[in-house]
Amino acid sequence: MPAINAATMVRVSRNQVRRSTGVSGVGQDDSGCTILHVDMDAFFALVELRSRPELRGKPVIVGGGGNRGVVLSATYEARAMGVHSAMPMSRARRLAPTAVILPPHHSDYSEVSASIMALFTSVTPIVEPLSLDEAFLDISGSLRSMGSPRLIAESIRARVNDEQGITCSVGVASTKFVAKLASTRAKPDGLMVVPADEVLAFLHPLPVNCLWGVGERTEEQLTRLGLRTVGDIAHTPLATLRRALGNASGSHLHELSWGRDPRSVTAHVPDRSIGAEQTFAEDLEDVAAINAHLLGLSDQVGSRLRASGRVARTVHLKVRFSDFNTITRSKTLRESTDVTQEIYEVIRQLFAALGASRARVRLVGVRVDGLSETQGAAQQMMLGEPEHGRRDAELAVDQLRARFGPGVVRPGRLIDPAAE
Ligand SMILES: [Mg+2]
């Protein structure tokens, strides 16, 4: 396996991309390597360092405060001291007593993530995000206009660094799982190309647990069979693997061990609608109580709209009664919105128009569709719409929630429906 030496592990700086360009990489022949796996390095931590440049090169941990918090992200300097994500903060503090601990700013991470995904989409329309900070790209349609896979990967790394001030690592291969393994091997701030005809030489020395689908239990079973490397799996008769692991799992691992992974990169299709529903523990009759729940659901929908940078044109109410009879009502707005109070106002009127004041309600739902990007709506509001004060207030609440958790601020009437 290509070694990542200790010196590479601790160097993460803005100039790293340029310095490391061309470094690492199993081989040079990138023909047929049309799948990229791009993964940000220590994502939350490096985003935080943008506003704390004096902490660059130091052990930094991002995570919740108090002793019940967990590590969300850590710089490579902190990782070198044994800290890793999901570790209890109390343990991380003991391992890295000199580390600086920063609280997370989730809205910043979402914003950087959206920019990175937009950058990927400018390279190819076939982008499959795996999380906020990593994605597969199928670049087969971009080669003619943008150059070789290696050049495209280099340019993505340079752009992420220049535009976002953070570093990423890229794996370039002919299959998804090899591309993902390659980006992991290239970390941090690296690039690795695994040429199609060197896949087996790359894979076979790796430990079995690097294959997708090998968890602790499977690893134990493989160890019992004396199989420690991917090459060991490849050279075990398929029948033996199937007997030990089951047919599906045995065949799957055998295929992967020979570098065969037919899965294609699947572009993410954005939601066509956003909705939330709630089934009550006991059927409700009281209109004020039902309205309080409708406000809470409108709030969930509104904040998801704002987080996704979109506005909605049509609002739908769904009501299921105690006899399971279900009705829906909808209203299309004159102007699209992402304002919770506007969504709720429509929902409240739709519910009132049902005349269901004495009905026993089992479930209510709020959904919006006719989604579009927020930009147009923001311009509308600048032209003197009266509602922008509400939207600003709700955006402030979104930020508080991103920082302190969803329970920190609730719409007033949700807390006390009787106060209306
Ligand atoms: Mg990452």
Judged against a pLDDT cut of 90, whether residue 386 lies above it is answered with no
Tens-place pLDDT, residues 246-285: 998 999 999 999 999 989 998 876 678 888 988 888 899 9
226, with CB counted inside 10 A (0-12, 13-18, 19+), is exposed
Q: How far is the CA of 186 from the centre of ligand 1 (A)?
A: 12
- Please tell me the distance from the alpha carbon of residue 408 to that of residue 383, in angstroms, as a whole number: 32
CATH architecture of 273-419: 2-Layer Sandwich (3.30)
415, with CB counted inside 10 A (0-12, 13-18, 19+), is exposed
Which secondary structure element, helix H or strand E, spans residue 283, and what is its range? strand 273-284
* Per-residue CA distances from 119 to 114, 125, 139, 147, 273 (Å): 9, 10, 13, 17, 24
pTM for this entry: 0.62
Q: How far is the CA of 140 from the centre of ligand 1 (A)?
A: 24
How many other CB atoms are there within 10 angstroms of residue 382's CB atom? 9
Q: How far is the CA of 372 from the centre of ligand 1 (A)?
A: 29
User: What pLDDT score does 359 carry?
Assistant: 87
How many other CB atoms are there within 10 angstroms of residue 172's CB atom? 31
Q: How far is the CA of 34 from the centre of ligand 1 (A)?
A: 21
Cis peptide before 406 (omega within 30 of 0): no
Q: How far is the CA of 136 from the centre of ligand 1 (A)?
A: 12
Q: How far is the CA of 133 from the centre of ligand 1 (A)?
A: 5
Backbone angles phi and psi of 17, in degrees to 5: -60, -45
Structural tokens at position 64: 């919740």
Query: Are the beta carbons of 34 and 149 closer than 8 angstroms?
Result: yes
Beta bridge partners of 101: 61
Structural tokens at position 258: 């020979």
Lowest mean pLDDT among 271-280, 286-295, 370-379: 370-379
Q: How far is the CA of 363 from the centre of ligand 1 (A)?
A: 39
CATH fold, domain 45-106, is: MutS, DNA mismatch repair protein, domain I (3.40.1170)
Mean pLDDT for the chain overall: 84
**204-257 CATH:** 1.10.150.20
Domain ranges of the chain: 45-106, 204-257, 273-419
User: What pLDDT score does 375 carry?
Assistant: 55
User: What pLDDT score does 307 carry?
Assistant: 79
Tens-place pLDDT, residues 105-136: 888 888 899 899 989 999 999 999 888 899 99
* Per-residue CA distances from 372 to 6, 275, 331, 378 (Å): 47, 15, 17, 12
DSSP label of 84: -
Q: Give the active site residues.
A: 134
Judged against a pLDDT cut of 90, whether residue 396 lies above it is answered with no
Closest CA to 172 of 31, 52, 70, 302: 31
